[in-house]
Amino acid sequence: MATALIILAAGQGTRMNSDRPKVLHPLGGVPMLWHAMAAGDTLFPELTVVVTGHGGPEVEAAAKAHNPEAVCVTQSERLGTGHAVQQAVPALEGFSGRAIVLYGDTPFIAPETLERLAEARADVTVLGFTPADPGRYGRLVTAGDSLERIVEWKDASAEERAITLCNSGVMACDVDLLRELLAGLTNDNAAGEYYLTDIVGLARARGLAAGVVTCDESETLGINSRPELAAAEVAFQARRRAEAMETGVTLHAPETTFFSFDTVIGRDAVIGPNVVFGPGVTVESEAEIRAFCHLEGCHVSRGATVGPFARLRPGAELAEEVHVGNFVEIKNATLDEGVKVGHLTYLGDAHVGEHTNIGAGTVTCNYDGVSKHRTVIGARAFIGSDTMLVAPVTVGADAMTGSGSVITSDVPDGALAIGRARQETKPGLAVKLFEKLKAAKARKLARR
């Protein structure tokens, strides 16, 4: 059966005490909204509708950054979850199939759980869970395998509050039926809101079937405050570390490795202590990322080594057997096979040919204050320590630059380029200069 997603992302999140819309707070380096969207993506939905509200333009931009085909609608007044889903229904015009309602601040629902929800046969199916502390969750009132109704905590009787099966808010329903049930909602309750949960009672009143699919409490973790966001980050990192090690990645100090939402690391890769992966990183098999490195938007090929204390920024592309050493920064640059960049170097907007050696302190001077410019270094070149390569500039294959050079013109293949002031040596002048400076310092101290 065809599937559509309705993702509710209109909340302001006042408990976050933030100007940023709640669903845009980062989790694993990306907006938490992306996690909910990605979970739904595993169902290969024909349509994804995101309901925005507070910070609507920003939320819409984030949703489309993850899925350009997502349709965004606005809930201008926050009148409850049922009202939010009502805003999404017009966007489903012409769609025939099952709609699944998800929440932008509930990021951890497993694909397997959503698949069971999508395949459930009841007319309306709710995702339930049994928490360690039911607290103020809505309760699922059942009779055998049938779900009779959902009761919000504030409206529940003492007997109903004793029920431990709780409502996650996630549910599935045929779109045509959902449209009909939503039309019957009222706001006759303690909060004066239109509850999506009331469609269960409306369906049962029509003699339709309602059921429950259950999942672990950890999948239903909602994020409403900074402490809950921090707890979610801890849970996310713990899961990603476990997954990495289970797939054959060595983590020398797992508790100090931080992954992003989309980090990909191949089998037999080795990750040292205190490594942070930002979004968009792929590390191939048998590569090594040493201690205290920060990587984002980059690709590290098989057998390459990075660090310690290195930074790979977006657009960094390291081929096989490349070595990037300590205090090296690479940005928007391709390093071909076997390149060595040992230490204290910045390579930005550059292409370095295979088996070239970059000496310590080398800088590609890529920015003139207005525009960025590119440096091209050929294969098997040798760039001497403390070389400044003023882009745009090309250094040919098998060429060499002298240490301390400022290279402003292209260097042909096989040539040696030296661009520095001629050294002058003044015999005995250092001793005389030191004596003069020491005498001046002594006179200064004597006057105090």
The torsion angles phi and psi of 231, rounded to 5 degrees, stand at -65, -35
Q: What is the DSSP string of 370-420?
A: S-B--EEE-TT-EE-TT-EEESSEEE-TT-EE-TT-EE-S-B-TT-EE--S
Q: Does 252 qualify as catalytic in the annotation? A: no
Token pair of 119 as six digits: 């395949």
Q: Which of 312, 266, 311, 257 is nearest to 286 (CA)?
A: 266
Please give the DSSP secondary-structure letter assigned to residue 55. Answer: B
Element (H, E) at 289: strand 288-289
Element (H, E) at 81: helix 81-88
**CB contact at 8 A, 65 and 256:** no
The torsion angles phi and psi of 293, rounded to 5 degrees, stand at -105, 155
Alpha helix stretches (DSSP H) within 97-225: 111-119, 158-161, 175-183, 198-205
Token pair of 270 as six digits: 């080795």
Residue 427 burial (CB count, 10 A): 6
25, 83, 323, 343: the catalytic one is 343
- Please count the residues of the chain: 448
Residue 227 burial (CB count, 10 A): 10
Distances (CA, A) of 195 to 185, 191, 212: 7, 9, 18
The torsion angles phi and psi of 208, rounded to 5 degrees, stand at -90, 160
- Tell me the catalytic residues: 343
